[in-house]
Amino acid sequence: MKLRVVFFVLFAFASISFAVENKKNVVLIIADDLGYGDLSCAGATAFKTPNIDSLANRGIVFSQGYATASTCTPSRYSMFTGEYAWRQKKAKTGILAGDDPLCIPTNVITLPKIFKAAGYVTGAVGKWHLGLGDGSAPLNFNGEIRPNPNDIGFDTSFIIPATVDRVPSVWLRDGKVVNLDPSDPIEVSYTKNISDTPTGLERPDLLKQGADKQHSCSIINGISRIGYMRGGHAARFVDEEIPENVVREASSFINSNKGKPFFLYVGLFEPHVPRTVDARFKGASKCGIRGDVIVQADWQVGEIVKALKVAGVLDNTIIIFSSDNGPVVFDGYYDNSERDLNGHKPAGVLRGGKYLVYDGGMRVPFIVVNPDAKEKGLSGAIVGLNDLPATFAEMLSVELPKAEAVDSISALANFRSAKAAGQRNDIVLQGSRGKSIRVGDWKFVPKTLGVAADIGSGANPRDKRFAESIVKEDSLYNLKDDPAETRNVISENPQIAESLKKRLAEIERIK
């Protein structure tokens, strides 16, 4: 009898520890506006990204990996919820301001909640841009903001609320502004100049980089931002220190949780504007500051990998590296990135980039290092960042609620083998002015109906995107024959166009 109990206990322990061992840690690193051609392993020659290249060498590289939208908020919304952002009818899911409410409902399944359901510790570090608070009152940055990332599944979070070019220019730890002096409260406005520092329009002489009108509000650390901020002086971040902050927080999360299975989301800020570099990356590329900040992003990836190694968990960790949307060169700050391109092609062979409906806007670097993968190398399977929820739900045997994560298809087979067949045949791609759809090798880009504000006014003569963002006629491209989407073949293939249009309408109706 005694012996049987001992056996039972031993067996129970053995099975628990086996289960835990099988739970790989997951680190998801998402760059901001990094293009399909922006890595040396993807053909860039103006700079080297050795740390990311090394992930590519050790992992599975998806040549047909997508973000679901060509701007940040909708793209990350669908990555975390497994649903296309345009399904969300209540919350705003376009590019959010720094004081907009959280756009992910707190009662739906999310990627971090899937990990939590499987017993993981979850953490978020870096770019957020999914809103904060419930919208019932103007956001107050002087107390604990709820809901915050911790209310959608993260145990801990250390984030910048929106973008570095939007106020407030502060870090939030678990919903509270870091280093806030209560006698110097923060106020934020996107409509009224409440700034206690000059604006970029008033004092362009104080700026490190000139900026267009939209980015010429409060000057913080020599950079004018979108929106106005007063107070919180001790809490304001120094742009040049952001990479160090990201590395410190990511490494400390890894180190504190090395004994448990963990999920860490890291939102890098590069190469989004405003671009600033720590002194050691100045001139690191042959294509100006945009290349330099990509090298800086690569350094952060290297440091995170180092932290995994030091913690002794590298071989037990799945690392995913991707980007929230495609590249943009000029995006509001006169940092000479256009002038300095030197032949570098941020979107590689693809057409367009950020904001647009063409593949350059959403086809992104997509690398998965999985210690359990049988075959590594290049995979041609279509995968989306929106597939992460279903993929990890399958991997961890977490059941998804039926009516949730409806646009997520498990890519587990593809994360295990570069040779596995693709599980997804179509994907809807959201630009600032409308959606397009890819089905197999075909892509249907409907004529632009509405005009969205996200793209800017087009008043800047360098903003060629403005003209390209308006699709004048329904178009069909064959991505296999014509990856750069240069030949509209709709008149030769009217039935194919019709079937893609129908499929798009069908997907829109689900749910």
Question: Segment 317-356, which members bind Ca ion (CB under 5 A)?
Answer: 324-325
Select from 25, 40, 71, 408 the one that contacts ligand NG6 (CB under 6 A): 71
Q: Whole-angstrom Cα distance, residue 143 to residue 182?
A: 9
- Residue 214 interacting with ligand NG6 (CB under 6 A): yes
**Please, which residue, 92 or 286, has the CB nearer to Ca ion?**
92
**Residues in contact with ligand NG6, shown as a per-residue x/- string from 158 to 197 under the rule CB under 6 A:** -----x-x--------------------------------
In angstroms, give the least distance from the CB of 354 to Ca ion. Answer: 7
DSSP string, 172-190: EETTEETT--TTS--EEES
HSE, CB side, 13 Å, CA atoms: give it for residue 317: 28
- Residue 272 interacting with ligand NG6 (CB under 6 A): yes
**Residues in contact with Ca ion, shown as a per-residue x/- string from 53 to 92 under the rule CB under 5 A:** -------------------x--------------------
**Residues in contact with Ca ion, shown as a per-residue x/- string from 18 to 37 under the rule CB under 5 A:** --------------xx----
**Residues in contact with ligand NG6, shown as a per-residue x/- string from 334 to 363 under the rule CB under 6 A:** ------------------------------
**CA distance to 146, 210, 307, 369, per residue, from 102 (Å):** 9, 31, 31, 31
In angstroms, give the least distance from the CB of 355 to Ca ion. Answer: 10
Select from 34, 226, 250, 429 the one that contacts ligand NG6 (CB under 6 A): 226
- Residue 435 interacting with ligand NG6 (CB under 6 A): no
- Pick from Ca ion, ligand NG6, none: which does 383 bind, CB < 5 to 8 A by kind? none
Select from 426, 454, 468, 474 the one that contacts ligand NG6 (CB under 6 A): 454
- Pick from Ca ion, ligand NG6, none: which does 331 bind, CB < 5 to 8 A by kind? ligand NG6
CB 218 within 8 A of CB 227: yes
**Residues in contact with ligand NG6, shown as a per-residue x/- string from 312 to 331 under the rule CB under 6 A:** -------------x-----x
What angle separates helix 288-310 from helix 242-256, to the nearest 10 degrees?
20
Helices (H), ranges, 311-410: 359-362, 388-395
DSSP 3-state of 127: strand
**Please, which residue, 40 or 325, has the CB nearer to ligand NG6?**
325
For 213, the token pair is 């009108």
DSSP string, 28-87: EEEESS--TT-SGGGT--SS--HHHHHHHHHSEEEEEEE-SBSSHHHHHHHHHHSS-GGG
HSE, CB side, 13 Å, CA atoms: give it for residue 381: 27
Select from 123, 261, 456, 483 the one that contacts ligand NG6 (CB under 6 A): 456
Q: Which amino acid is present at 38?
A: D
In angstroms, give the least distance from the CB of 35 to ligand NG6. Answer: 12
Q: Whole-angstrom Cα distance, residue 418 to residue 139?
A: 45
Question: Segment 96-135, which members bind ligand NG6 (CB under 6 A)?
Answer: 129
Phi, psi dihedral angles at 201 (to 5 degrees)? -70, -40
- Residue 72 interacting with ligand NG6 (CB under 6 A): yes
Q: Whole-angstrom Cα distance, residue 487 to residue 485?
A: 6
**Please, which residue, 57 or 214, has the CB nearer to ligand NG6?**
214
Q: Total residues at the site for Ca ion (CB under 5 A)?
A: 5
Helices (H), ranges, 100-183: 111-117
Q: Whole-angstrom Cα distance, residue 485 to residue 243?
A: 36
- Residue 273 interacting with ligand NG6 (CB under 6 A): yes
- How far apart are the two ends of the chain, measured CA to CA in Å? 55
Q: Whole-angstrom Cα distance, residue 438 to residue 74?
A: 18
- Residue 95 interacting with ligand NG6 (CB under 6 A): yes
Q: Whole-angstrom Cα distance, residue 335 to residue 326?
A: 19
- Pick from ligand NG6, Ca ion, none: which does 456 bind, CB < 5 to 8 A by kind? ligand NG6
Phi, psi dihedral angles at 456 (to 5 degrees)? 95, 175
**Please, which residue, 331 or 340, has the CB nearer to ligand NG6?**
331
In angstroms, give the least distance from the CB of 194 to Ca ion. Answer: 27
Write out the residues near ligand NG6 by the rule CB under 6 A: 32-33, 71-72, 95, 129, 163, 165, 214, 226, 272-273, 325, 331-332, 454, 456
Write out the residues near Ca ion by the rule CB under 5 A: 32-33, 72, 324-325
